[in-house]
Amino acid sequence: MDTGMRHDRKVALITGVTGQDGAYLAELLLDKGYIVHGVKRRSSSFNTSRIEHLYEDPHVENPRFILHYGDMTDATNLIRIVQETQPDEIYNLAAQSHVQVSFETPEYTANADGTGTLRLLEAIRLLGLTRKTRFYQASTSELYGKVQAVPQNETTPFYPRSPYAAAKLYAFWIVVNYREAYGMHASNGILFNHESPIRGETFVTRKITRAVAAIHLGLQDRLFLGNLDAKRDWGHAREYVRGMWLMLQQDEPEDYVLATGETHSVRSFVEKAFARVGMPIDWRGEGVEEKGYDKISGRCVVEVDPAYFRPTEVDLLLGDPTKAHTKLGWKHEISLDQLVSEMVREDLKVMARNVPLVGANKGLVHA
């Protein structure tokens, strides 16, 4: 099968296509007329809910969205997929992407996120595609880790604070090395946190908006969180995938920060989310004793659980996206308030539809 050569359309390969960013990016590229190949993992139950709306029956002639089973830990599999698809652009989004989980699965995280990136770059090189295939690497603001400077831009020193960030640090530099050593068009997008209604349920924003919806509907009593003081630069994923695409359309490969240039605490995100369902939050107590009460009913709805504290935390992320503004013409437009409203609204719809399921899931959101 040589799916890449049958059309004059551009061909893209997305690893991590079943994830938040993979789904938005696949949608964007299909809209732009691309043929999109996606790598998905085999799982014991369906893991394609985010891309179901893009699914095409593989029996139709010349499908434009094609899925391949694969894994970042399997080099021969990646080589075969790259060979079969002959992509013009590869977007490497696949990763064990949860920071806290990386403390529990450090070796796997290094393998998938660090060495996995090397495997893909080697596939391009071994197949003689270094001139044809452009490469996007999902790098991260977690690389900045222990704060060295604020705001953070492309020249701010890295100081990773988790096995996840250390693995992504290797991936960052191996991308730079393949660019310099082999002249590949390979770019790192240093993306600050970006969220959406399809964000993974155990990342803090989605955990909060799901809980707010469930508490509002009487399906859950309270929300347990870790560090309320952590500050993040949160944007909307739909806008960030456009930035990824723009990086690969440039004449020269470079690394870019994508961020909003604003930072907010987890506590402030909680307040904004509860405000959407008419529950103003009153904070009482300090440290692990801190609790959030609904000012109107007086009911406790937020508690701190130290189980969610990380062995080493990233306290403050604030990105400076000036380079992306200037060179890519990329700028975020969706505000944090709009993002929170959209997430709460969508979770209210989901919770209202899945009342029995929500009950069954209580207590399972553990990361």
- Give which of ligand NDP, ligand GDR, none residue 367 binds (C-beta under 5 to 8 Å, depending on kind): ligand GDR
- Selecting among 142, 195, 271, 342, the annotated active-site residue is 142
N residues, the chain = 367
CA atoms within 13 A on the CB side of 317: 28
Positive or negative, the CA dihedral 166, 170, 175, 176 is positive
Identify which of 105, 142, 140, 98 has the alpha carbon closest to the alpha carbon of residue 315: 142
CB of 128 to ligand NDP, least distance (A): 24
- Give which of ligand NDP, ligand GDR, none residue 230 binds (C-beta under 5 to 8 Å, depending on kind): ligand GDR
CB of 330 to ligand GDR, least distance (A): 17
**Exposed/middle/buried for residue 329 (C-beta within 10 Å: 0-12, 13-18, 19+):** exposed
Binding segment (CB under 6 A) for ligand GDR, from list 210-218, 226-234, 277-285, 333-341: 226-234
Based on the residue annotation, tell me whether 140 is a catalytic residue of this protein.
Answer: yes
Judge contact between 264 and 257, C-beta under 8 A.
no
Give the pair of three-digit tokens for residue 269: 């995100």
Based on the residue annotation, tell me whether 164 is a catalytic residue of this protein.
Answer: yes
Binding mask 290-329 toward ligand GDR (x if CB under 6 A, else -) reads ------------------x-x--xx---------------
- Give which of ligand NDP, ligand GDR, none residue 209 binds (C-beta under 5 to 8 Å, depending on kind): none
- Give which of ligand GDR, ligand NDP, none residue 41 binds (C-beta under 5 to 8 Å, depending on kind): ligand NDP
Based on the residue annotation, tell me whether 55 is a catalytic residue of this protein.
Answer: no
Give the pair of three-digit tokens for residue 138: 């999902």
Binding mask 144-183 toward ligand GDR (x if CB under 6 A, else -) reads ----------------------------------------
Q: Is 203 in the site for ligand GDR (CB under 6 A)?
A: yes
List interacting residues with ligand NDP (CB under 6 A).
Answer: 15-16, 18-22, 39, 41, 43, 47, 71-73, 93-97, 112, 138, 140, 191, 193-194, 200
- Selecting among 15, 109, 133, 140, the annotated active-site residue is 140
Identify which of 307, 229, 309 has the alpha carbon closest to the alpha carbon of residue 269: 229
For 22, other C-beta atoms within 10 Å of its C-beta total 24
For 287, other C-beta atoms within 10 Å of its C-beta total 9
What is the b/e burial string over 110-131, where b = at least 16 CB atoms within 10 angstroms of the residue's CB? bbbbbbbbbbbbbbbeeeebbe
User: Regarding beta strands 134-140 and 186-191, do their DSSP bridges make them parallel or antiparallel, or are they unpaired?
Assistant: parallel
Q: Is 207 in the site for ligand GDR (CB under 6 A)?
A: yes
Calpha distance 131→151 (Å, rounded): 35
Please give the size of the binding site for ligand GDR, defined by CB under 6 A: 23
Judge contact between 209 and 340, C-beta under 8 A.
yes
Give the pair of three-digit tokens for residue 110: 């290094």
Q: What is the DSSP string of 120-163?
A: HHHHHHHTT-TTT-EEEEEEEGGGT-S-SSSSB-TTSPP---SH
Identify any residues that bridge with 13 across adjacent strands, giving them in sequence order: 37, 90
Q: Which is nearer to ligand NDP, 49 or 62 (CB)?
A: 49
Q: Is 268 in the site for ligand GDR (CB under 6 A)?
A: no
Q: Which is nearer to ligand GDR, 124 or 167 (CB)?
A: 167
Candidates 78, 167, 204, 301; binder of ligand GDR (CB under 6 A) is 204
Site for ligand GDR in 99-118 (CB under 6 A): 99-100
Which residues of the shown chain bind ligand GDR in the complex (CB under 6 A)?
A: 97, 99-100, 140-142, 193, 202-205, 207, 225-227, 230, 232, 266, 308, 310, 313-314, 367
